[in-house]
Structure formats: structure tokens, C-alpha cells
């Protein structure tokens, strides 16, 4: 009997240990605002049991709050419904309706965007239409009609995982006549440069060539913990630089292309937004010379959740570091710079090595520092 009494205790301890393990690596995502804009952290490509995902829609809200996101969209496949025998739902808006009514989302001011995924074989591929009013009207026989219906509802449409191997045997995006026609008609506005764990330089090149908004999404189907956190990763997000925290401002910013895709310390975006984001992410806390030397100490703090890898891009060399150094989320680093003579001001120039504004193009970020 004593052995039997121990079993519930052991089971309870195992459950607690499993719950604790499920949040390994789960840390809030945070990025600073940039001059003139509010930085909104958005994941605009997610799935639930109402298409081919494996969780109930309300779980996505809880995960978003855990990750400190500002915006989510549940973009269920319109045409692909593998769970319909178990969860029949002729209304394609049902997933959105369930989460938009959640008290937790309203209490935390989580913005929930109505969206759906238009799912077709190549060359059409998959595309998300967000800011829609009725997903049912996008369920059309011809893909051209589905995109036209999205445009009629004022949707922002982006091309999903264009380098996905079922859509392209080479692993590179194939810009078909269909996508070209959609862009010409104002029916395709963005492209995923980061989807799940994949970064596509070729998709970035297409974004720049055709002025498509750069997107990063998780495309999550299982638990965020399973796909990302337990592997020590944060989910991919799109950082949207909006004029204010609202659905209307979010939509305006996406159409204007004010975004940076972020995943696993990788940042991808246009130079106009990438450079101010990196500059705002590193705060200069203290500046001063060591005693009577001409060695300048500059104390930096990373106020973002991104780990940066910098390379010294100044003519001056470091006293206490190699030319390459890392600064993790929330970490402070003190650089000792050999300026050879005491200066009243200095331009701290660092090249950000995991930040791209074009394929293989990285930038030097400059902080203008006055010496106390």
C-alpha cells in the first residue's frame, strides 16, 4: 500500500517537471521603438485545428502573450482542411471569431488581425490575405478570383514561403507570370523572407526588386514551445514600424513597407529601418578615459532581445577586445578604445554582422558620442 501511495506523488512531480521543461528557452521578445515610429512585434502566419494546425485557436493567444507579441493573425488554409471530419466548420471565419472574443487578448491589448491563407499548387503557391472582412468570400474556384476578392476587401497579401521545396525543386523562389500579374493588379504586396527556420536571400532580392514588404513569420502548426522554445529559439516575427499601436496604423505601415524580419538574432530589412533599429537597440551608458591614459571606455547596453555580433569598423583599435564581439539580450559590454589622444567626441562605428538589407549586404552603424 505504501508503494501505491508514492505513485501519485511521483506522477505529480513528473508533471511539474514536464511543465517546467516546456518553457525552456521561452523568453519575451522585445525591440525598441525607432525615431518617429512604434515597433510592433507581429506574427502574421499561424495555424490551428481549423486548418492543418494541432492546437485550439485560443492557445495561439496565450503563446503570443507569453512571447510579448503585439500582433497576431491566424491564417487558416481556405482550401486545405484536414480536420474537417472531426471539426466541421463551413464558416472560414470561425478561428478568428474565437480569438477576437478572448478577454485575455483585450486585457493585454493584443491586436488580432483577420486573415486566411489562399492555398494552391504551383505556380500559384500559398499566400496570406490579412485585414479581410469575410474569409468565406475568398473561397473561389479560380485563384485569380480569390486574389480579386481579397483586394475588394482591402487586404494586404503576401507570398508565403516562396522558396519552399514543394513549390520549387531548387529551393529558390520562382516568380511566375501569376505572381507578376498579381503585383501588376495591386493584389500582392509582400513576401516572406523568413518562414519557420528558413531565410531566403533570393526572396529578399525579389522583395527589393519588386518593392514587396519584407516579412518574417513562424508558420507554426504545433506548439510554439515545441517548434522553437525547447530548441532555444525565439519565433520569427515581423517588426512593423507603425505610427501608433492600432490595426489601422499597422495596415498602413505594412502597405508602406516599414518592416524588418527577425529570427534567431538575424535581422533582415531595408536599410532605412534596419539601421535605426540596431542603433536604438544599443544604448551608450557611460563614456570616459581611464585615469591619465588615452584609452577611452565606452559602456554599451543591449536593450533588445536580439544578440548582436559586431565588428570594429573604426580606425581606432580595441584595448580589451578582439575586433569581433557579442552583446546578448540585456547585456552590458565595456569597450576600451585606443584613441591615441584624448578626444572630446568620437564616432563609434560597428558593423552588424547578422543584419542584412540585401543579399550579403551588411552595414556599419554609427553612434556619435560626446566624451565627458
pLDDT at 4: 44
Say if residue 143's pLDDT is above 60: yes
Give the mean model confidence (pLDDT) for residues 127-144: 98
CATH superfamily entry for domain 277-370: Immunoglobulins (2.60.40.10)
More confident: 1 or 315: 315
pLDDT at 340: 96
Give the mean model confidence (pLDDT) for residues 294-305: 97
Nearest to 247 by CA among 86, 92, 66, 40: 40
Mean pLDDT of the chain: 92
CA-CA distance, 362 to 340, in Å (whole number)?
A: 28
pLDDT at 16: 39
Q: What is the pLDDT of residues 75-107, one digit of tens each?
A: 999 999 999 999 998 999 999 999 999 999 999
pLDDT at 275: 98
- Indicate the CATH number of 27-269 among 3.30.1330.80, 3.20.20.140, 2.40.50.140, 1.25.40.10: 3.20.20.140
Cell 469575410 appears where?
Answer: 134
pLDDT at 85: 93
Whether omega before 123 lies within 30 degrees of 0, making that bond cis, reads yes
The three grid cell numbers given for residue 357, joined into one nine-digit string: 538589407
Euclidean distance between the first and the last CA atom of the chain, given in angstroms as a whole number: 74
Instruction: Output the DSSP codes for 80-105.
Output: --TTTTTS--S-TTHHHHHHHT-HHH
Neighbours of 208 (CB within 10 A): 16
Pairing of strands 332-338, 295-302: antiparallel
pLDDT at 26: 65
Say if residue 255's pLDDT is above 70: yes
Instruction: Output the DSSP codes for 295-319.
Output: EEEEEEEE-SSPPEEEEE-SSSEES
Give the mean model confidence (pLDDT) for residues 146-169: 94
How much of the chain, in percent, has pLDDT values that exceed 70? Answer: 93
Q: How many residues does the chain have?
A: 372
Say if residue 11's pLDDT is above 90: no
Say if residue 6's pLDDT is above 60: no
Q: How confident is the model at residue 170 (pLDDT cuts 50, 70, 90)?
A: confident
> Which pTM value belongs to this model?
0.92
Cell 521545396 appears where?
Answer: 165
- Cα distances from 169 to residues 173, 193, 332, 339, 347, in angstroms, run 9, 18, 45, 53, 47
pLDDT at 22: 40
Q: What is the pLDDT of residues 180-212, one digit of tens each?
A: 999 999 999 999 999 999 999 999 999 999 999
Contacts (Cβ under 8 Å, ≥6 apart) of 365: 275, 278, 279, 282, 349, 350, 351, 352
Q: How far is CA 56 from the centre of its chain?
A: 22
Say if residue 5's pLDDT is above 70: no
pLDDT at 27: 85
Q: What is the pLDDT of residues 28-71, one digit of tens each?
A: 999 999 999 999 999 999 999 999 999 999 999 999 999 999 99
Nearest to 206 by CA among 159, 155, 144, 258: 159
pLDDT at 130: 98
CA-CA distance, 281 to 137, in Å (whole number)?
A: 42
Say if residue 364's pLDDT is above 50: yes
Give the mean model confidence (pLDDT) for residues 124-129: 97
Say if residue 21's pLDDT is above 60: no
Q: What is the pLDDT of residues 316-350, one digit of tens each?
A: 999 988 999 999 999 999 999 999 999 999 999 99
With contact defined as beta carbons under 8 Å apart, do 14 and 40 qualify?
A: no
- Cα distances from 269 to residues 53, 205, 257, 321, 337, in angstroms, run 29, 11, 9, 29, 30
Q: Where are the domains of the chain?
A: 27-269, 277-370
Amino acid at each position: 500500500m505504501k508503494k501505491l501511495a508514492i505513485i501519485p506523488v511521483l506522477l505529480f512531480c513528473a508533471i511539474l517537471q514536464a511543465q517546467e521543461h516546456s518553457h525552456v528557452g521561452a523568453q519575451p521578445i522585445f525591440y525598441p521603438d525607432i525615431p518617429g515610429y512604434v515597433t510592433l512585434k507581429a506574427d502574421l502566419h499561424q495555424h490551428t485545428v481549423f486548418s492543418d494546425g494541432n492546437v485550439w485557436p485560443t492557445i495561439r493567444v496565450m503563446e503570443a502573450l507569453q512571447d510579448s507579441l503585439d500582433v497576431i493573425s491566424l491564417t487558416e488554409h481556405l482550401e486545405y482542411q484536414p480536420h474537417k471530419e472531426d471539426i466541421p466548420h463551413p464558416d472560414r471565419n470561425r478561428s478568428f471569431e474565437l480569438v477576437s472574443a478572448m478577454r485575455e487578448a483585450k486585457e493585454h491589448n493584443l491586436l488580432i488581425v483577420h486573415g486566411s491563407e489562399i492555398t494552391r499548387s504551383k505556380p500559384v503557391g500559398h499566400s496570406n490575405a490579412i485585414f479581410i472582412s469575410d474569409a468565406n468570400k475568398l473561397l473561389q474556384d479560380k485563384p485569380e478570383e480569390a486574389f480579386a476578392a481579397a483586394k475588394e476587401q482591402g487586404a494586404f497579401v503576401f507570398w508565403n514561403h516562396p522558396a519552399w521545396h514543394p513549390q520549387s525543386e531548387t529551393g529558390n523562389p520562382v516568380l511566375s507570370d501569376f505572381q507578376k500579374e498579381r503585383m501588376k493588379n495591386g493584389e500582392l504586396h509582400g513576401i516572406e523572407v523568413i518562414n519557420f527556420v528558413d531565410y531566403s536571400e533570393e526572396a529578399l532580392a525579389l522583395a527589393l526588386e519588386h518593392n514587396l514588404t519584407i516579412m518574417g513569420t513562424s508558420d507554426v502548426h504545433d506548439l510554439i514551445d515545441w517548434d522553437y522554445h525547447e530548441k532555444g529559439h525565439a519565433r520569427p516575427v515581423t517588426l512593423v514600424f507603425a505610427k501608433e499601436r492600432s490595426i489601422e496604423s499597422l495596415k498602413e505601415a505594412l502597405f508602406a513597407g516599414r518592416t524588418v524580419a527577425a529570427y534567431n538574432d538575424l535581422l533582415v530589412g531595408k536599410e532605412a529601418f534596419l539601421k535605426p533599429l540596431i542603433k536604438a537597440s544599443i544604448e551608450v551608458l557611460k563614456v570616459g578615459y581611464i585615469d591619465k591614459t588615452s584609452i577611452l571606455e565606452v559602456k554599451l547596453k543591449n536593450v533588445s532581445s536580439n544578440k548582436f555580433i559586431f565588428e570594429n569598423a573604426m580606425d581606432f583599435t580595441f584595448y580589451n577586445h578582439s575586433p569581433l564581439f557579442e552583446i546578448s539580450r540585456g547585456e552590458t559590454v565595456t569597450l576600451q578604445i585606443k584613441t591615441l589622444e584624448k578626444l572630446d567626441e568620437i564616432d563609434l562605428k560597428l558593423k552588424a554582422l547578422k543584419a542584412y538589407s540585401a543579399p550579403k549586404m551588411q552595414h556599419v552603424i554609427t553612434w556619435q558620442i560626446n566624451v565627458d
